[in-house]
Amino acid sequence: MGSLARCSVVSRLSASVGRCAVSRPDSVAARGGDDVLDLGAGAGIVTEMNFCGHARRICGIDPDPRVVDNPFLDEGKVGLGESIPYPDASFDLVFADNVLEHLPNPEQVFAEVARVLRPGGVFLAKTPNKYHYVPLIARLTPHGFHRWVVRWRGREGEDVFPTRYLANSRADIRRLAAATGLQVVAVDLVEGRPEYLRFSALTYVFGYLYERLVNLVPGLAGLRVLLVAELRKPDAGSAA
């Protein structure tokens, strides 16, 4: 991706929710002139996902028609991850920022990602860990409540979409990768400052203590909020 290494994409995927960056430059070193697909690109609201000028081509798909005017893309297409509107072996890198939690058919999406990746290509995804308390609460509350919370925090409720959490654990990622011929390079779990609990001192203190606990106790790492996965399509001629 030119001057921007792929490890920077991983860092931005983490930084987009204020978490600490995850970086593996040895395993995600960039090649010049990469073609990149933003899976679930949306309208271009999250500025951390702006990689214009750092790759040969930045494409994006989303069911939201605003994707065609996304300023971060060289080309935006309306489409679904279950049927990516690009030919086989079109991209060196596919990334998904807060998308996996919304997928009703994640195995089909992973298969499509594998199809459009070139041999040796990388799939990077950032998504909530379904065993963290925030997704657990989200799964127990109606979608209308999620929209209200987002509006209360000053964002547009229309940018909140139903969540399913079918690809949101380390086990889920490994299972889906195995089913679709992708290799698991790493699945990292990260917990940072609980900015989503800043609406009161009491909730923020709870979040801060939780963050300290899951970061200090190795056995509780599986309860961290953020999952960042790196998968790779095997090189031509190699076994998955």
In a domain, 139, yes or no: no
- 63 domain residue, yes or no: yes
Tell whether 210 is covered by a domain: no
User: Per-residue DSSP letters for 183-204?
Assistant: EEEEEEEE----GGGTTSHHHH
In this structure, what CATH number is given to the domain that contains residue 52?
3.40.50.150
43 in any annotated domain: yes
Please name the residue ranges forming H helices in 4-128: 6-15, 106-116
Is residue 238 very low, low, confident or very high in pLDDT (cuts 50, 70, 90)? low
Residue range 2-27, pLDDT digits in tens: 434 445 555 555 444 333 334 343 34
Name the nearest CA neighbour of 59 among 31, 87, 98: 87
Specify if 148 maps to a domain: no
Evaluate whether residue 151 is within a structural domain.
no
- Residue 1 inside a domain? The answer is no
pLDDT of residue 25: 35
pLDDT, tens digit, 9 for 90 and up, residues 151-182: 665 665 455 678 899 999 999 999 999 999 99
The whole-number pLDDT of residue 229 equals 95
Token pair, residue 199, equals: 């609406």
- Residue 45 within any structural domain of the chain: yes
How confident is residue 197, by pLDDT bands cut at 50, 70 and 90? confident
pLDDT greater than 60 at residue 67: yes
Residue range of the domain that includes 46: 6-128+164-193+226-232
What domain count does the chain have? 1
